[in-house]
Structure 1
């Protein structure tokens, strides 16, 4: 009996030919040679070698150690390359050429698949923002006056965006509780997560030229899971009067796999109803396609699921976020990353941060290792997700995992 081909996938495999996310990997025999890969089932295809074997005109573009050249090539090329790779993996005549170029996922090392240019993070979930407002302003309005008029965000540190699997060192900094006479310095005692979806920019834009809502697909290549680690005690003390700084900039973890936007057409969904009419540059009421995405996220700590945030509930869409962050003339660069902001739903088990789940430490939750309010050293956080795909199949997202190690 002949051995089963890695291309003979189980029915409904979330990483089938309908998905084909991109990543960058190395092998044990060539640990210094980074290659562009495409995930199919439980294997990764050496995309550059595949293009070379079939004499593809995209061989030079795919034989790169980073996604950035493909990102910069633009939407028409993204579509054509995706169609070509789909054929390579589904046309039976190509199997003899493709099968030797498939590597088991467990036998490769994944790397950050793109060079990050700028990093922006948003605050776009009404449920999350309302919870945070109630925690910190119990006697005032939960939402700030500007919240429903613009997607609030901040610029982060691109140099500390790390790939899934990278350990996260507990950050140290200043913190001050109401009971402290003056600030103290030391490791964060309120280390948190933020379950988010990230967006990867491919095509750049010129400085001084805003990107319109309808141009989202021309600039954004794909999506991935993102964990914006947050030191809540450091953040609370430094937050006034400016925005996030050291409480956020120590690490942001991203998945090793980027799912192309084309793979998520079936996951498009209308955003929640808005009770404030946005200004014209953010008005998507006449958009050609719905701006939301139905992505179901699961957050686990040490293997136990603690939350299942629904991305479909996000008030501000990725297209609106892109339009807003360029409306002042700021330019896009290939490799820009922006995060959705914490994803939270209306139910307690849909809250995408421990700040909300524990109500700032008031309500502990149980793990097999004991009770938690915020993360302890040794805790491992894993986020997974899926979205509806064509004909009822699921589109899987690459997981994002990080383990907390003690402060230095």
Structure 2
């Protein structure tokens, strides 16, 4: 009988919105979780900084001594405190003692994942982290397990709800970035300090995890090229609309093969224009979506709520059930797969496309000067649109694919042309054939 089995003892580190939901569900549905895992799940302690702030948790479970809780008689440590320290030390302590770990800590995994994986391997413990990317969306396990026999070529997605809400609202209302950011804060979509979201740090950590899993290569957050959305204006949104495109902050991880057949990995986060016909274009509000391309499986898309206590708790509990099942049958979950160890490309060596908007003098020869500059840097032009307005004109150039360094050098030189009044905006273009 399941109820006669020794319980799987669970320690929880941190009890914010996600942790509170996890405790509530574990205690509210004990029979259901026992049936799914093969043994009862028992919360033995919850480590928090201020116990009086957590009346929703039974008082006898609360403690301020996280280290003692981890060192105690527990089988699984669920970490939901975030940040690097003390989370890193506590999880290493747990793993080295042979205790399995469930974590939602994207920043820690992006910087110290290899250290945690090594500790888990050495002790024969599990480490699961589905909730670290895209909240409730089942994404990492398909990459880690379901597609383990396939060869992934590209992962491109919207993995930050705050920035997606802001850009979606700018697209629908025409409002400025500052206005929409303020609105996002009032609605609870943006933190009081939104830097991690709007400057791309959050998405870059997630991109590092996605690239590592997809390409069997250790990629850290510092390997990821990062640009945020604070420079996006209403004019950029309007320009995208005029071309039947929309602007999204994308995390893009791809396998790049050069002319000699050498493979490398590119990992980047930046705003980009994508066609409104692309599946990611219709992802609005604070939702997340990730588009995966694989050799055999083809194109796959994962969509859903990427944040919030209730949705994210689904991913945490899914990992906890998986870990508990492994403990019941004395099995082990998937290990780190970093066998490929492909080199990580710099942004300059990564092939991309640009949408360039220029303010130029409306006189003969200007277009030929601009075109000659592109030709000098071996950048091919895909489309040009010019519209006069008195003595000046608006000139929009969309390129074919070229190395980012060549595109940037082209823009820098164009800015120095006497006939160019201003480089109004530069944005990458994704999601269509080049």
Q: Choose between structure 1 and 2 for higher RCO, CA contacts under 8 A separated by at least 6 residues.
A: 1
TM over 0.5: no
Q: TM-score, normalized by length of structure 1?
A: 0.25
- TM-score, L = length of structure 2: 0.24
Task: Return the structure number with greater helix share.
Answer: 2
Computing the radius of gyration over CA atoms, which structure comes out larger, 1 or 2?
2
